[in-house]
Structure 1
Amino acid sequence: MSKEALVDQIVANTGLSKKDATAAISQVTQAVTDLMVKGQDISLIGFGKFSVKDVPARTGRNPSTGAEIQIAARKQVKFTPGKGLKDAVN
């Protein structure tokens, strides 16, 4: 589903204007991004939890040459679905 389709779904379900629904989605995604950049977890009870996981540096191999390469440490975004979402999908 695209952002545009999500906006249309919210407009249909709430009666908000398209402009207000677009602004609300933009604010939610910006707030989630800002909190995750700071390393904070976001828990939405019944929906799920967004968290940031540190992945350490490691040594890997270039598949075409077989040469060892160093893979840098990074942060990974993780989503764990909540019980309500799991139950709704299943």
Structure 2
Amino acid sequence: MTKADIISEISTQTGIEKVDVQETVEAFFKVIKKSMIGGENVYVRGFGSFVVKKRAQKTARNISKNTAIIIPEHYVPSFKPAKVFVDKVKTNSKKIQLEA
């Protein structure tokens, strides 16, 4: 499902114009990005958490030159789904497999 599909689905379900839905969805993602760039985690109850994870410095190997390189510590965005969300996906995917 693409962002356009999501916008269309929300518009259909709520009766709100697609332009307004698109602005809202864009604003939502902008807030998530801005918060995470600032080092804040974002929690959406019943859906999941957008968290910033710290990766420690490590030594890696460049196999083409057979040399060691150091990868400095850095931060990466991550998503951790809520338990309720995971349980719903598990139960629904089992139903889909049985029907197929």
TM-score normalised according to structure 1 size: 0.91
**Equivalents in 2 of 1:28, 1:65: separation in Å?**
44
Which has the larger Rg? Answer: 2
**Equivalents in 2 of 1:13, 1:65: separation in Å?**
56
The letter for the 2-side match of 1:57 is: Q
Superposition map of 1:1-90 within 5 A: 1-90=1-90
**Equivalents in 1 of 2:80, 2:57: separation in Å?**
24
Is the helix fraction higher in 1 or 2?
Answer: 2
**Equivalents in 2 of 1:11, 1:84: separation in Å?**
25
Gaps of 5+ in 1: none
The letter for the 1-side match of 2:6 is: L
Gaps of 5+ in 2: 91-100
- What is the aligned-residue identity percentage? 29
**Equivalents in 1 of 2:5, 2:36: separation in Å?**
25
TM-score normalised according to structure 2 size: 0.83
**How many residues matched?**
90
